[in-house]
Amino acid sequence: MGLELLFPEFLLAAAALLLPGTYLLHRNARLCGQLAVATLAVALSATWVQWFGEGLVTPASYFGHLQIDVFSQLFKFAFLTIAFVTGIVSLAYLGELPHRPEFFTLLLTATLGMLIVASASDLLTLFIGLELAAFSSYALVAFQKRDDGSTEAGAKYLLIGSFSSALTLYGISLLYGLTGTLSIASLAAHNWNSDFSGALFVAILFITGGLGFKVAAVPFHAWAPDVYQGAPTPVTAFLAAGSKAMGFVALLRIFVVALGSMLIEWQLLLGIIAIVTMTVGNLAALRQQDIGRMLAYSSVAQAGYILAAFPAMTELALGGAIFHTLVHAVMKGGAFVIVAAVGIAGLGYGIDGYRGLAQRSQLLALTMTVCLLSLVGIPPFGGFFSKFWLFYGIFQAGMAGQQWLLWLVIAGVLNSALSLFYYLRVIRNIYTEDPQGEARPFGEHTRYPALAVLLLLILLIPLEYDYLLTLCRDAAASLL
C-alpha cells in the first residue's frame, strides 16, 4: 500500500509551510484564511474517501512510527472536522484583527499534531504529535495579545503545559529504561512478570499526570477554566473538542495498548481519578456565572465519565468511551459555536447574555439547548446514546466479576443528574427571560455549523447510533 493514506498529513504540513509565503506575496489575510479552510476541507474529503470509498481501511504501518487502522482513521476524521468548523467560525470571529495568517497556520499545525497522535505507533512519535499540537495551541490561546485575559490564559497554559510535557516525557523515559523499547506494540508484548514494579508504577504516575493535563482531569484541571474563558472562543471550541479528544487518544494508546497487560498497576488509580474528576467538575460548574468557565468545568466532568471506562477494559466499555468522546466533541464544539455567535453579536460571555436568545434566533437557541441537554444525557438526543453505552459497558464489566466498577456507574449517573442544575440555568434564560440590550445580527457563518450540530444530535446520532457504536467498538477492538 502506498502513502495515499498519509495524504492529509502531507497536505497539512505543506499548507502550513506555504501559507506565510502566500501572505507575503499577496498581503491578503482573508485569502490565507480561506486557503487554510479549503485545505482542511480537502484533507477531510480525502480521509472520507479513503475510509468509506473502499470500506474499512486495511491496517498499514509507515516508517515504523505510524499505524493506520480503524481507530486512527476514526479520530483523524474527527480532528479534521473539528478544525474545519473552527476555521469557518474563525473567519468571521477574527474580523480585521492583525496576524490572521499566523492564526490559520497555527490551526493547521495543531491539527497536524493531532493527526500524528491518532496514528502514532511508538511513544516518541506520540510525544512529538502532542507537543506539535500543544505549542500551536499555546500561541492560539494568546492570539489576542492586546487582550489581558487572552495573554494571561496563554501564559498559564504554556507554563502548566510545559510542566505536564516534562512529566509525560519522564514517564516515557522510565518505560524505555525498563523495557529498552518505545514501540507501543513491543511494550504490549513485553513480559513484565507478575511482581509489583515500583519503577513501573512511578512511570504510570508521571504519564497519568502529564496526559491528565491534556484531558483536564482532576487534579490537573486548574488551567481549563482560565484558558476557556480567556482564549478566543473558536480556539476554546477547538481545545474543548479536539485537544481533549487527542488526550484520550494518547491515553488509550498508552494504557489500553502498551500497558494493558499491567491493568492491575493502574486500574484503581484511574477509577479514583474518574470519580473525583466528574464530581469536582460538576460541583465547581454550579457556581459559575461566565459561560466559558461553566463549560470548562462541564468539560472536566465529562472527562471523568470517559476515564471511568478505562478500568473496565472491555470492548463495549472502551467502545462506549470512544463513542462518547466523539459525541462530546460535537456537543461541546456546538455549544462554543453558539458562545462565539453570542459574543460576536455583542451580548457578552456571561450566562445573563443568553436572556431571551430564543426571541433573537430560534436556531441558535434550539442548538444551544440540545447541546446542553445532550451533555446531561437526556433522551432522545445524541448525548444520551453515547453516555448510555459508556455506562452500560462499565456496568457489564462490573456484573462480570469486578463489582467495584459499579461505583463508577453510580457516580456517573448521580453526577449527570447534578449537572442538570447548571445547564437548566442557561436554558431558563434562553426561553423564559426577556432580551436585554441591543445585539448585532447573527452571521451566516454561525448558522450553518449550528444547523449541522443540531442535525447530528437530533437525527444522525440517534437514528444511526447502532452503526456508530459498532464503528467505535471496532476501533476499541483494534486496541485490545
Q: Is the pLDDT of residue 447 over 80?
A: no
- pLDDT (average), residues 301-306: 90
Q: Is the pLDDT of residue 96 over 70?
A: no
| Rg over CA atoms, the chain | 21
Q: What is the pLDDT of residues 2-43, one digit of tens each?
A: 677 788 888 898 988 888 887 777 777 778 888 888 899 999
Q: What is the value of pTM for the model shown? A: 0.90
Q: What is the pLDDT of residues 391-424, one digit of tens each?
A: 998 898 888 878 888 899 999 999 989 988 888 8
The confidence score (pLDDT) of residue 277 equals 92
Residue 193 pLDDT grade (very low, low, confident, very high; cuts 50, 70, 90): low
The confidence score (pLDDT) of residue 194 equals 54
Mean pLDDT, rounded, of the chain: 84
Q: What is the pLDDT of residues 39-73, one digit of tens each?
A: 999 998 888 887 766 555 677 777 778 888 888 88
Q: What is the pLDDT of residues 339-373, one digit of tens each?
A: 877 877 777 778 888 888 888 888 888 888 888 89
Q: Is the pLDDT of residue 379 over 60?
A: yes
Q: What is the pLDDT of residues 257-271, one digit of tens each?
A: 888 777 787 888 888
Domain-wise residue ranges, the chain = 277-480
Q: Is the pLDDT of residue 154 over 80?
A: yes
Q: Is the pLDDT of residue 282 over 70?
A: yes
The confidence score (pLDDT) of residue 111 equals 92
Q: What is the pLDDT of residues 220-255, one digit of tens each?
A: 888 888 888 878 878 888 888 888 889 889 999 988
The confidence score (pLDDT) of residue 52 equals 65
Q: Is the pLDDT of residue 150 over 60?
A: yes
